[in-house]
Amino acid sequence: TAFVEWKSPPLPQYQPRTIRWRKRALYGLERSWSQEFQTVNAPNIPLPTVYVEPIKHFYIFRGDRVEVLVGRDKGKHGIVNYVVTERNWVCVEGLHLKYKTESKSHDYPGMMVSTERPLLVP
């Protein structure tokens, strides 16, 4: 991803100049063209330091069946939904989700519904 704010026209009377407002980006689950990504990576907002070096040849792909080796879901199997290679993240379907109770009343105990966005586990 290259953040280019302005680029000079490719004409002979102009010197080739490029003004960049960000050299690195903070990657998450948002796509780079989405509004959430643009607000997180807005100019003049300091980014937190990330101490992760991306793996050069990431060998896990979307659709692979994986087993969790560490954490509270250790030993469970699932299918990879999303991969963020810049942060070495893998989102696995149905594992490590947040749950909330809906339709709870005095007579009815309610339903446990999982949220759409899972917690990320590197």
Taking the C-alpha atoms of residue 122 and residue 104, their distance in angstroms, rounded to an integer, is: 34
64 alpha carbon, distance to own chain's centre = 18
Residue 118 has pLDDT above 80, yes or no: no
Give pLDDT tens digits for 9-24.
888 898 888 877 667 7
pTM: predicted TM-score of the whole model, two decimal places: 0.49
Contact 82, 91 (CB under 8 A): yes
Residue 1 has pLDDT above 70, yes or no: no
Q: Which two tokens stand for residue 6?
A: 């302005």
Compute the chain's Rg from CA coordinates: 21
Give pLDDT tens digits for 92-108.
887 767 788 888 889 99
Taking the C-alpha atoms of residue 91 and residue 88, their distance in angstroms, rounded to an integer, is: 10
Pick 51 or 59 by higher pLDDT. 59
Taking the C-alpha atoms of residue 42 and residue 22, their distance in angstroms, rounded to an integer, is: 8
Taking the C-alpha atoms of residue 104 and residue 114, their distance in angstroms, rounded to an integer, is: 15
Model confidence at 48, pLDDT cuts 50, 70, 90, reads: confident
Taking the C-alpha atoms of residue 114 and residue 92, their distance in angstroms, rounded to an integer, is: 14
Query: Which letter, b or e, does each residue of 13-34 get, where b requires 16 or more Cβ atoms within 10 Å of its Cβ?
Result: eeeeeeeeebeeeebebbeeee
